[in-house]
Chain A
Amino acid sequence: MIEPGSIPAAAMGGGLIGLAAALMLALNGRVLGVSGIAAGMVAAGTPLSDRAFRGLFLVGVVLGGLAIGALFPQAMPGAITSNHLVLGVAGLVVGFGTRLGGGCTSGHGVCGLARLSTRSLVATGTFMVTGILTVFIIRHVLGGLP
């Protein structure tokens, strides 16, 4: 049995993520960007049919999560902290930031880099750097999450 998060599993899981993104393009002609798909659900003026189209993808993500959790409980440990202030702020800036920047790890990272998009390369480099800096400050300057 493979161990989720090990290097072989990471490469295999990454391959499945890439396959899903490639099939999204081949079948539906769209880029697989989760923040964009999810944000469209709550954006003003999204047509009902489009909401259903997006919603089904998101339902699929949760169903896939349930399947993984059943097979590999260790792959679904929940959140890193129970500090609601930290989780709330983190969720807020992830939501706001991904919309302002027009994408997240899937849209800019997986899809944008495969499309050789300069915007996505800049975005991916930027969120990697600020992610690394944030972890550095939390772990090595502040000594851990409150």
Chain B
Amino acid sequence: MRYLANLLLGVLFAIGLGISGMTQPAKVLGFLDVFGAWDPALMFVMGGAVVVNFVGFRLAVGRPHPLLAARFDLPTRRDLDWQLVTGAALFGVGWGLAGFCPGPALAALASGSADVMLFVAAMFVGFVLKDLLVRPAAPALPPAGAALGS
């Protein structure tokens, strides 16, 4: 059941990405171009998503456990470290270069574009390289938090 839920959540998430404009790199770059012809539309994506999730999050964690799992598995780290800031900074550079963050890039595979496939393949190489080159920061993330809680 939780497997089916995950599949359907992926579909819902991607439909949201597509309607919102996040799968159009030109829209994303227009949003990031605050010193040029700024396109504010994508501000409303983050706004809509955070508002709905803010309410939903509070309704969900008020329950004793998730509907399809034994317990909640949420990130617990609160410290700020160089990996967080450096990683986010690097991610922003790639985002500004191609106009894709991970979710929209995966959804955009549906376009059948070989260019999108190249971006996604390089992204997976990046995931593996990080694991090969950088040890997890101490205190280590709990396994599920490290994997999904990010």
> A residues bordering B, Cβ < 8 Å?
2, 4-7, 9-44, 46, 50, 52-54, 56-69, 72, 74-82, 84, 86-115, 117-119, 122-124, 126-136, 138-140, 145
Structural contact, A92 and B41, CB atoms closer than 8 A: no
> B residues bordering A, Cβ < 8 Å?
2-27, 29, 32-36, 40-57, 59-61, 63, 65-75, 77-80, 83-103, 105-111, 113, 115-116, 118-131, 134, 141, 144, 146-150
Instruction: List B contacts of A103 (CB < 8 A).
Output: 150
Beta-carbon nearest neighbor of B126 in chain A: A95
Structural contact, B45 and A17, CB atoms closer than 8 A: yes
The 4 closest A-B pairs by CB, nearest first: A95-B126, A60-B10, A22-B56, A101-B87
Instruction: List A contacts of B11 (CB < 8 A).
Output: 60-61, 63-64, 67
Partner of A10, one of B20, B36, B124: B20
Report A114 CB to chain B, min CB distance, Å: 4
Structural contact, A80 and B19, CB atoms closer than 8 A: no
- Given A97-B88, A105-B95, list of 7 further CB < 8 A pairs? A9-B21, A13-B19, A23-B56, A77-B23, A86-B98, A91-B120, A98-B91
Structural contact, B21 and A123, CB atoms closer than 8 A: no
Structural contact, B18 and A76, CB atoms closer than 8 A: yes
Instruction: List B contacts of A87 (CB < 8 A).
Output: 98, 115, 118-119, 122
Question: Chain B's interface: helix, strand, loop or mixed, by majority?
Answer: helix
Structural contact, B113 and A79, CB atoms closer than 8 A: yes
Report A138 CB to chain B, min CB distance, Å: 7
Partner of B94, one of A5, A16, A38, A92: A92
Report A36 CB to chain B, min CB distance, Å: 4
Given the complex of chains A and B, what is the CA–CA distance between A69 and B88 in angstroms? 30
Instruction: List A contacts of B43 (CB < 8 A).
Output: 10
Structural contact, A77 and B26, CB atoms closer than 8 A: yes
Question: Chain A's interface: helix, strand, loop or mixed, by majority?
Answer: helix
Given that A9-B20, A96-B90 are known contacts, is A134 also in contact with B127, CB under 8 Å in the complex? Answer: no
Structural contact, A89 and B116, CB atoms closer than 8 A: no
Instruction: List B contacts of A23 (CB < 8 A).
Output: 5, 9, 12, 56
Given the complex of chains A and B, what is the CA–CA distance between A7 and B42 in angstroms? 7
